[in-house]
Amino acid sequence: MSTPSTTTYVLRGVRPYGTDPVDVVLADGVVAAIGAPGTVEVPEGAHEVAAQAAAQDGDSSGLVLLPGLVDLHTHLREPGREDAETVFSGTRAAAAGGFTAVHAMANTTPTQDTAGVVEQVYRLGQEAGWVDVHPVGAVTVGLDGEKLAELGAMADSAARVRVFSDDGKCVHDPVLMRRALEYVKAFDGVVAQHAQEPRLTEGAQMNEGVVSAQIGLTGWPAVAEESIIARDVLLAEHVGSRLHVCHLSTAGSVEIIRWAKGRGIDVTAEVTPHHLVLTDELARDYDPVFKVNPPLRTAADVEAVRAGLADGTIDIVATDHAPHPVEDKGCEWSSAAFGMTGLETALSVVQQTMVDTGRMTWADVARVLSQNPARIGRIDATQGRPIAVGEPANLTLVDAGATRAIDGRTQVTASDNTPFGGMELPGRVVATFLRGRATVLDGAVVDTTSSQSNSWNNAALEGAGR
Amino acid sequence: MKHLLTTQGLSKDDAILLLDTSAQMAATQSRENKKLPTLRGRTVVNLFYEDSTRTRISFETAAKRLSADVINFSAKGSSVSKGESLKDTALTLHAMGADAVVVRHWASGAAHQLAHAGWLDAAVLNAGDGMHQHPTQALLDAFTIRRHLVGRVGDDGRGADASVGADLAGLRIAIVGDVLHSRVARSNVYLLHTLGAEVTLVAPPTLVPVGVETWPCRVSYHLDETLEQWQPDAVMMLRVQRERMSGGSGAFFPSPMEYSRKFGFDARRLAVLPDHAIVMHPGPMNRGLEISAAAADHPRSVIVEQVANGVAVRMAALYLLLSGDIASTNSSTSSTSTSTSSSTDERTAL
Amino acid sequence: MHPGSRMPESSTTPGSTSETPSDTPSTAPGTAAARTVLGEADIARALTRIAHEIVERNKGAADLVLLGIPTRGVQLAERLAERLAQIEPAFSGEFGTLDVTMYRDDLRRQPTRAVGQTVLPGSLDGTIDDKVVVLVDDVLFSGRTIRAALDALNDLGRPRVVQLAALVDRGHRELPIRADYVGKNLPTSRSERVRVRLADVDGGADAVVISGAPTDSAATDFAGENAAPENAAPENDADERSAR
Ligand SMILES: [Zn+2]
């Protein structure tokens, strides 16, 4: 068998960004040709990708070709919590979900707050070979919110860190936040803030409102998120820095971002798939699978973040994929860990909430799940590229006409804590290509690859230590 | 009735059935022989993750008066305190053949999880979960209110409780104090409303939850105004935890003295009430903080009676949970049963 | 919580005081003709006769306590008390109610029953010690209700004598229990249903009605004497579930 990187693929009758069907040839890690069906020259022995899926229902109208998805917010858990996820298992899940790059959040054990740890995670990602892994650096040492971590060292490391976040915790000290915003300007970094005023959320378990009042769980008020976002956009404006707001979840947060952008502040914002569809009503049965931070909000908030995503106020969808072992979820709500998995359902949720509702096109999906996150993470030289001849063949082929039942136990991620278990979601990733190599084919991850066969030909990352 | 987890969603018929059964249980408790054979051979586990000797003893007494075997499983000195999960404990109780589990837990929803997570098939009786619910407390409160304000024992001339079958329509109940953290308040608001009473919560705004607007009650920040103008038939004082007044900037009110002045119940405020009004407290009381000794010990205080009624109410709950369990299992699978209406939809029932 | 305990009478067998075996499908209305075996006058005569028998047997009505077993036993006790007061002017005319629910042996196997009231005649001062207690029930069948009643009585005190009056004895006893006073002995098949209707409970005229086909094969099987005790039909089943 030829090495994967040299396999030539032909994608027949696929629709880039949901537009008219074309045939696409992938060779030597790049998009080699695009043309009307039957018009492109297909090299001898090229692997036909879409033929099977297209033949099944007689037409390929559902086969949408997107640039490989980029997640700006993934918890891979390694090092430290390999019982929940490893870099290998998490990135394999990412590939299954159509991703070709993920940003690995810093709240590992030890924390990703030194060049050594970020390089370890970076190397684990390379060895796994499922997606590009870009470690996020901690803003403060140990995520303690007290002392800046060596941001420069992480930026200069082999991992070339550009996104810094204490995610899981908020950089709540305004002076420290100001310093971080200023400091990362030197290497075009960005601080990704987990906006949670700590005093307003002591012991918080779920969104504060009608449901929390009835079911007796301590509330996580919207204002605890909004007040930090408001402060941070003003700080960013004052020091002329760029700010990224993680997983905003409230209508008020959308308003603040809209206002800040109107004012010219260099802020970007993300929403998670779960905040696009799930509400705090789900807490009523006390199933900790619905416990997440920030918490599921109200239906009005869901509508506001959908509107914000549709009108561009919210720049990206990021998964906040947060795997947890069963014992951290099979317990009292108050004792349970925050977080839910999302890599394998993100695209489906975006399709269901934004595309199938007519609020976004597939080109918009490519923008919020690939181009924008790549740009914010400063990996847009290689990821989030246009689907065009000569571009890196980082691509995702989704059968938008398919539906699938979600079952946490059969997902690729090592953890079961999907909030969508038992639900039917639209869309199915048929194939994922990382620099021309198939990580997913016919809807299944391609396990023949290994670190040895991973061709890491990213020029921008040349010289990275192996 | 499979579980008793919350008063929210409890139907009026079921609530009255619980109160009526409590009345019959109470009648047996004035006999020389207080023990009934009803639950002979059944096992009731008291699973207590929170210290509450009063509540545990009340349930234990109720179960024993019905001849059930009682196992006390408390967090102290057991595997529970060594980090055993709720799930493992539940599986253990299942293996032991518990017929009913009375659970007191610091976590809101723990009783719901025990009942619905599939870990055990015993009836679950919520004896207080976090800030959520404490249904038997609300039932004993409603029972006490009904006996005092609706019918008196012996009124029908034959020694029967004349309040049997009655609801609480038209009665006004003020619930005063730390509503935010109170499972007693949450349980009472829904039960009293279901029974037709009007409820006003009285508390400083810091101790009223955000989201209270959907509760079937009104909210007042002023005790004196409520007592004078609304003239409640019963005043239920809630315990104020000492920790609510500490915590510096996180304290819920400025000082105990200010709280007492504005929200404490004393003889002066008692005098404002109608002559028939009663004073209630779920206990344990902070005398001098939310209630004065004079008010607590006043003839119109029914606080001690609440404790006694607790046993009867818990007997009723245990009886209704543990009788008919085979029949209801059968009826849910057999369309030919004559008792189809006994099939239990626990999700909508309790 | 299921509403079985407050089941409207119309949902099963209206006014039935007979025993419907718990695992036997109830006979659909109209599949078997109901026949009235005792009419209003018959019932009145039977009660009057029982009242006289009680006086005769006990040589008066001294220390006599009538306790009706809910629901129709209570009405019958009330009627007996009226008659006794006429026969024996010294008799107070009082009667009591003895709820046996919490003493039953089939609580798990039947839909949850509402617990009824136990009320002793006010003149007793709360004790039945050394009294002559006459339990009053409408239909005597397996004897299990009376067994429960004897246990319930035991918790109330120590009567000198306990006697049993039943309007109808339909046989099929499962315990060594017999009635001291019977309005009418009624040979029945197990599958048949005996319903006592009383004007003050059920409306209409007083009547004892039998329904259900005695030749029903399933019923014949069930009627086998080897039927397990737990299959035994409780007495006053539907009746008590709809008490009050
Ligand atoms: Zn976060």
Q: Please determine, for residue B330, whether its predicted confidence score (pLDDT) is greater than 80.
A: no
Distance A400 CA to ligand 1 centre (A): 29
Domains of chain A plus CATH, in order, are 68-376 (3.20.20.140)
| Same domain, yes or no: B119 and B141 | no
Q: Please determine, for residue C243, whether its predicted confidence score (pLDDT) is greater than 70.
A: no
| Same domain, yes or no: B281 and B316 | no
Domain total of chain B? 2
Residue C59 has φ and ψ, to the nearest 5°, of 55, 50
A9 SS3 class: strand
- Count the Cβ atoms, other than its own, within 10 Å of residue A411: 22
**Residue B153 DSSP code:** B
- Whether the CB-CB separation of B111 and B5 falls below 8 Å is answered with yes
What is the C-alpha to C-alpha distance for residues A161 and B96, in angstroms, rounded to an integer?
A: 55
- Minimum-distance CB partner of C111 among B35, B316, B328: B328
B4: in domain: no
- Minimum-distance CB partner of A332 among B86, B213, B215: B86
Residue of A nearest to B208 (CA): A213
- Minimum-distance CB partner of C1 among B1, B159, B165: B1
B7: in domain: no
What is the C-alpha to C-alpha distance for residues A394 and A68, in angstroms, rounded to an integer?
A: 5
- Minimum-distance CB partner of C4 among B24, B326, B341: B341
| Same domain, yes or no: B91 and B151 | no
CB contact under 8 A, B339 and C22: yes
Digit-coded pLDDT (tens) for A371-409: 999 999 999 999 999 999 999 999 999 999 999 999 999
B325: in domain: yes
What is the C-alpha to C-alpha distance for residues A403 and A320, in angstroms, rounded to an integer?
A: 23
| Same domain, yes or no: B94 and B73 | yes
Q: Please determine, for residue A4, whether its predicted confidence score (pLDDT) is greater than 50.
A: no
Range name among A241-255, B249-263, C131-145, C217-231 with the lowest pLDDT average = C217-231
| Same domain, yes or no: B223 and B97 | no
Range name among A109-123, A342-356, B196-210, C123-137 with the lowest pLDDT average = C123-137
Domain containing residue B79: CATH number: 3.40.50.1370
CB contact under 8 A, B211 and A215: no
- Whether the CB-CB separation of A70 and A40 falls below 8 Å is answered with no
| Same domain, yes or no: B145 and B262 | yes
Interface test with chain B among A202, A210, A211, A215, by most B beta carbons within 10 Å: A215
Give the residue from A393, B20, A145, A71 showing the smallest Cα distance to C117.
B20
Digit-coded pLDDT (tens) for C19-57: 433 333 444 444 457 889 999 999 999 999 999 999 999
Residue of B nearest to C127 (CA): B31
CB contacts, 8 Å: B107 with chain A = 332-335
B337: pLDDT confidence band, cut at 50, 70 and 90?
very low
A residues 76..115 contacting B (CB < 8 A): none
Interface partners of chain B (CB pairs < 8 Å, 3 or more) are: A, C
Per-residue model confidence (pLDDT) at position C108 = 85
Residue of C nearest to B331 (CA): C111
Interval B108-114 mean pLDDT: 96
CB contact under 8 A, A218 and B210: no
CB contact under 8 A, B37 and C103: yes
Digit-coded pLDDT (tens) for A31-47: 999 999 989 988 888 88
What is the C-alpha to C-alpha distance for residues A146 and C178, in angstroms, rounded to an integer?
A: 87
Q: Does an interface of 3+ CB pairs under 8 Å exist between C and A?
A: no
Q: Please determine, for residue C214, whether its predicted confidence score (pLDDT) is greater than 60.
A: no
Digit-coded pLDDT (tens) for B272-329: 999 999 999 999 999 999 999 999 999 999 999 999 999 999 999 999 999 877 666 5
ipTM over 0.90? The verdict is no
CB contacts, 8 Å: B186 with chain A = 214, 216
| Same domain, yes or no: B221 and B98 | no
Give the residue from A40, A23, A30 showing the smallest Cα distance to A5.
A30
HSE, CB side, 13 Å, CA atoms: give it for residue B228. 5
Q: Minimal Cα–Cα distance from A218 to chain B, Å?
A: 9
| Same domain, yes or no: B125 and B145 | no
Q: Please determine, for residue C237, whether its predicted confidence score (pLDDT) is greater than 50.
A: no
- Count the Cβ atoms, other than its own, within 10 Å of residue A37: 13
Q: Minimal Cα–Cα distance from A408 to chain B, Å?
A: 17
Per-residue model confidence (pLDDT) at position B54 = 92
Distance C217 CA to ligand 1 centre (A): 70
Digit-coded pLDDT (tens) for B208-250: 999 999 999 999 999 999 999 999 999 999 999 877 776 667 8
Range name among A290-294, A445-449, B112-116, B157-161 with the lowest pLDDT average = B157-161
- Count the Cβ atoms, other than its own, within 10 Å of residue C117: 22
Interval A119-145 mean pLDDT: 97
Interface partners of chain C (CB pairs < 8 Å, 3 or more) are: B
- Whether the CB-CB separation of A392 and A29 falls below 8 Å is answered with yes
Domains of chain C plus CATH, in order, are 3-7+21-243 (3.40.50.2020)
- Measured at the CA of B174, the angle between CA B172 and CA B179, to 5 degrees, comes to 140
| Same domain, yes or no: B223 and B153 | yes
Digit-coded pLDDT (tens) for C163-174: 999 999 999 999
CB contacts, 8 Å: B109 with chain A = 215-217, 286, 332-334
What domain range is B110 assigned to? 12-132+310-348
| Same domain, yes or no: B30 and B18 | yes
Distance A359 CA to ligand 1 centre (A): 26
What is the C-alpha to C-alpha distance for residues C191 and C188, in angstroms, rounded to an integer?
A: 8
- Minimum-distance CB partner of C122 among B13, B24, B159: B159
More confident residue, B350 or A236: A236
Per-residue model confidence (pLDDT) at position C224 = 32
B residues 45..84 contacting A (CB < 8 A): none
CB contacts, 8 Å: A213 with chain B = 209-212, 214-215
Residue of A nearest to B250 (CA): A199
CB contacts, 8 Å: B325 with chain C = 108
Q: Please determine, for residue C6, whether its predicted confidence score (pLDDT) is greater than 90.
A: no
**Average of per-residue pLDDT values in chain B:** 88
Q: Minimal Cα–Cα distance from A287 to chain B, Å?
A: 8
| Same domain, yes or no: B164 and B263 | yes
A199 near B CB under 8 A: yes
Digit-coded pLDDT (tens) for A427-456: 999 999 999 999 999 999 998 644 434 444
Distance C204 CA to ligand 1 centre (A): 73
B123: in domain: yes
What is the C-alpha to C-alpha distance for residues B68 and B115, in angstroms, rounded to an integer?
A: 20
B3: in domain: no
Interval B262-267 mean pLDDT: 96
- Minimum-distance CB partner of B324 among C4, C119, C156: C4
Structure tokens at B197: 């009473």
For chain B, the C-alpha Rg in angstroms (whole number) is 20
B222: in domain: yes
Interval C7-11 mean pLDDT: 34
Q: Minimal Cα–Cα distance from C232 to chain B, Å?
A: 14
Number of continuous H segments (helices) and E segments (strands) in chain B: 12, 9
| Same domain, yes or no: B123 and B165 | no
Task: Supply the residues of A annotated as catalytic.
Answer: 320
B293: in domain: yes
Length of chain A: 466
B331: pLDDT confidence band, cut at 50, 70 and 90?
very low
Per-residue model confidence (pLDDT) at position B160 = 63
More confident residue, B77 or A123: A123
CB contact under 8 A, B37 and C151: yes
Distances (CA, A) of A214 to A22, A209, A217, A219, B7: 54, 9, 8, 11, 11
- Whether the CB-CB separation of C86 and C63 falls below 8 Å is answered with no
